[in-house]
Chains A and B, each alone.
Chain A
């Protein structure tokens, strides 16, 4: 973990880059936030790379790569998919970015650690397969796998798609990660059960727009939901339409471009499993239009801006998946 910080200092000192995009501690030690560093002192003081560096840095490069000078960005495998997807959409000025790939063992979630019965955590470090937590009550260890955040339990890939230099070793993607298991489970329910499930989840939405703001695919300069006259900005007290509308459209707008980095669910203050909506679209496009992973390369056409003459008809929905009603 020190290696990453060292690299950041090295890059700045060598003059290769003028700024470094990384993480620094937010309100709590487990609450890491993306930050741009301009001096070695700043890095020495604030730069952190720990098992809580879940934040995807790619979206910040849209604005940062347009500024003067070169910026170094530390990208985890998930971030690198988003980075390539943004490059594909011509949102990032590639020449201004120096990508340092960092390998990731899966990122931890403080809630998962607390669920293991560990209280008052003040610091953590990874030792092989265990996560050692320093707490107010002395050292405790939990299995690393149990401390992982939800999205990292079904990690789709440890491959850093694109990088200028690499720290550690590059991994492989894992097609059998089982990330669609929950989607399949939902599909197998009856419509009433599914409706009840989503009603329960989506009714918690407080329309804070965190999922939209953090999403690397949601990078429009002007968003359809920022329209004051539309009523979408309101939290509907009457019933659930606006939540359904918001979440269907949010997921639809990133369909075929979502790399499944899971940031939406990570930042949701209400713990709504938003990635299940995105994964439904990914699963559908995979099944109906062929396997496609957004951000895996710069060439393949995304499924929604492509077609074939013998695509299935929309009526396929009446007979497909689930048990009908």
Chain B
């Protein structure tokens, strides 16, 4: 998205209900800044993330997608994030194989106590994606305004 001639990326952050979403809350409570371009979607667990969610996000105009979940070992459902970790590794590797910029996708583990980490992660990710520019390789012109 271009705002006043400047590129502002759209970022979709999938956050797990139990850790990262609370982490984002904590970042807000502590008045820690992170870019408004980050749109958070709450999911029950990081392993709820269907790979199609990521592709759909890109289709509908996201320039970067980040998944945040509990640290491995701390999953509310005991093992969900272990499965998510394997799936996302394979999916990201496949996206890279198809020539889609590998920095557009990321996984970070953010606990409910890590508001500062959440803000820092988002700042860093937005910066990275801003450098990459608009998502062209996984876009869908039918979804563009």
**A255 contact set on B, CB distance < 8 A:** 90
> Within residues 66 to 115 of chain B, which ones have a CB less than 8 A from any CB in chain A?
72-73, 79, 82-83, 85-103, 105-107
A195 touching B94 by the CB < 8 A rule? no
B51 touching A252 by the CB < 8 A rule? yes
Interface flags for B35-51 (1: CB within 8 Å of A; 0: not) read 00000000000000001
**A196 contact set on B, CB distance < 8 A:** 99
Interface size for A (C-beta < 8 A) is 49
A315, B85: Cα distance in complex, Å: 10
B52 within 8 A of partner (CB): yes
**B106 contact set on A, CB distance < 8 A:** 314-315
A303, B82: Cα distance in complex, Å: 12
A277 touching B94 by the CB < 8 A rule? yes
**B83 contact set on A, CB distance < 8 A:** 304-305, 307
**A245 contact set on B, CB distance < 8 A:** 52, 55-56, 59
A317 touching B72 by the CB < 8 A rule? no
Write the nearest CB–CB distance from A49 to chain B, whole angstroms: 37
| Residue of A whose beta carbon sits closest to that of B55 | A245
Q: Which of B55, B72, B86: most chain A Cβ within 10 A?
A: B86
> Within residues 291 to 314 of chain A, which ones have a CB less than 8 A from any CB in chain B?
303-309, 311-314
A/B pair count, beta carbons within 8 Å:
118
Interface flags for A251-282 (1: CB within 8 Å of B; 0: not) read 11001000000000000000000000100110
**A320 contact set on B, CB distance < 8 A:** 93
Write the nearest CB–CB distance from A18 to chain B, whole angstroms: 42
Q: Which of A55-63, A103-111, A131-139, A235-243 contacts B (4 or more CB under 8 A)?
A: A235-243
Of A238, A280, A306, which is within 8 A of B97 by CB? A280
Write the nearest CB–CB distance from A60 to chain B, whole angstroms: 29
Write the nearest CB–CB distance from A195 to chain B, whole angstroms: 3
Shortest Cβ-Cβ A-B pairs, 7 listed: A195-B99, A194-B99, A307-B82, A241-B140, A238-B141, A314-B107, A317-B92
Listed in ascending order, the chain A residues whose CB lies under 8 Å from chain B are 186-187, 191-199, 224, 236, 238-239, 241-242, 244-245, 248-249, 251-252, 255, 277, 280-281, 284-285, 288-289, 303-309, 311-318, 320-322
Can you name 18 A-B pairs with beta carbons within 8 Å?
A: A191-B99, A191-B101, A191-B102, A236-B140, A239-B141, A244-B98, A245-B52, A248-B55, A248-B95, A252-B51, A252-B94, A277-B97, A303-B86, A309-B82, A314-B92, A314-B107, A317-B92, A317-B102
Listed in ascending order, the chain B residues whose CB lies under 8 Å from chain A are 51-52, 55-56, 59, 72-73, 79, 82-83, 85-103, 105-107, 137-142
